[in-house]
């Protein structure tokens, strides 16, 4: 497999691990994701992953129902660690050395997040899964993905979603929705396209980290994106609309 990138950061939502279930983790889906990541690692590309926790607990939703926002966000961070450990198990089952690092200390089950250690793992060909978000409430795992990508010198963020890329309207309810092939950071922010939250987009813009948004459910998309093939929407290039 060809590769266009030496080091990438893959952003997975918690919902991506849920598959068609209404809640929790679908082991078959996790195994498929693990195999795709294994193929990328085998090509020589270094892979870091940030995973969300919305399949288990969503802090924003809980806070809107009356829970203290900071407490709700901390619970959500713990949910991401559950997902990170699940991914680690699936990867190691197929022979991919993996480390989980968390922004909240959980020394019995994971390493603390240490930037230099994470980079050393990547250099040795290990996958690093970052759990517990940034360790701070009021920040999303999208922002964490942008932050970690900048910290570890990742060349690109791959955001895996349930749709083919970024549209001007919701494609599930509008057959005429336009799929963008390329967008500037400014266009995303100005038109509130919700690729990632505005803090994450601003971080990527400041550090010149492109974001490639693609459909995770299409087998082989991660490998195609790593190979530099046109997949989904790239944010950080030119804009294909006026």
Tell me: is residue 134 an annotated ligand-binding position.
Answer: yes
Tell me: is residue 170 an annotated ligand-binding position.
Answer: yes
Strand, helix or coil at 64? helix
- For residue 133, what are its two tokens? 């978000």
Tell me: is residue 135 an annotated ligand-binding position.
Answer: yes
Tell me: is residue 161 an annotated ligand-binding position.
Answer: yes
- Within 8 A by CB and 6+ apart from 242, the residues are none
Q: Considering Cα of 103, then 192, then 233, then 235, what sign does the dihedral take?
A: negative
Tell me: is residue 54 an annotated ligand-binding position.
Answer: yes
Tell me: is residue 223 an annotated ligand-binding position.
Answer: no
Tell me: is residue 27 an annotated ligand-binding position.
Answer: no
- Burial (0-12, 13-18, 19+ Cβ within 10 Å), 122: buried
Tell me: is residue 58 an annotated ligand-binding position.
Answer: yes
* CA gap 101, 138 in Å, rounded: 20
* CA gap 232, 160 in Å, rounded: 10
Tell me: is residue 53 an annotated ligand-binding position.
Answer: yes
Tell me: is residue 167 an annotated ligand-binding position.
Answer: yes
Tell me: is residue 17 an annotated ligand-binding position.
Answer: no
Give DSSP secondary structure letters for 85-128: HHHHHHHHHTT--EEEEESS--TTTSEEP-HHHHHHHHHTT-EE
Tell me: is residue 44 an annotated ligand-binding position.
Answer: no
Tell me: is residue 69 an annotated ligand-binding position.
Answer: no
Tell me: is residue 19 an annotated ligand-binding position.
Answer: no
Tell me: is residue 130 an annotated ligand-binding position.
Answer: no
Q: Considering Cα of 27, then 100, then 45, then 166, what sign does the dihedral take?
A: positive
Binding-site members for UMP are: 53, 73, 134-141
Binding-site members are: 11-14, 53-54, 58, 73, 134-141, 161, 167, 170
Binding-site members for ATP are: 11-14, 54, 58, 161, 167, 170
């Amino acid at each position: 497999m060809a590769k266009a990138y030496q080091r990438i950061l893959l952003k997975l939502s918690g919902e991506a691990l849920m598959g068609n279930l209404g809640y929790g983790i679908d082991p078959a889906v996790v195994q498929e994701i693990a195999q795709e990541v294994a193929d990328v690692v085998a090509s020589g590309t270094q892979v870091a992953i940030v995973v969300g926790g919305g399949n288990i607990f969503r802090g924003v939703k809980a806070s809107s129902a009356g829970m203290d926002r900071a407490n709700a966000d901390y619970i959500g961070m713990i949910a991401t660690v559950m997902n990170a450990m699940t991914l680690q198990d699936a990867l190691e089952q197929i022979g991919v050395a993996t480390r989980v690092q968390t922004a909240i200390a959980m020394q019995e089950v994971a390493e603390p997040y240490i930037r230099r250690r994470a980079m050393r793992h990547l250099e040795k060909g290990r996958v690093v899964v970052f759990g517990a978000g940034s360790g701070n409430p009021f920040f999303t795992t999208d922002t964490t993905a942008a932050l970690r990508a900048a910290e570890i010198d990742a060349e690109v963020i791959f955001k895996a979603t349930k749709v083919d890329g970024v549209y001007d309207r919701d494609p599930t309810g509008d057959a005429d929705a336009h799929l963008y092939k390329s967008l500037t950071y400014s266009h995303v922010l100005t038109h509130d396209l919700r690729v990632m939250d505005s803090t994450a987009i601003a971080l990527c813009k400041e550090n010149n980290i492109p974001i490639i948004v693609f459909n995770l459910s299409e087998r082989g998309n991660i490998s195609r994106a790593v190979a530099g093939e046109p997949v989904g929407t790239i944010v950080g290039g030119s804009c294909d609309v006026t």
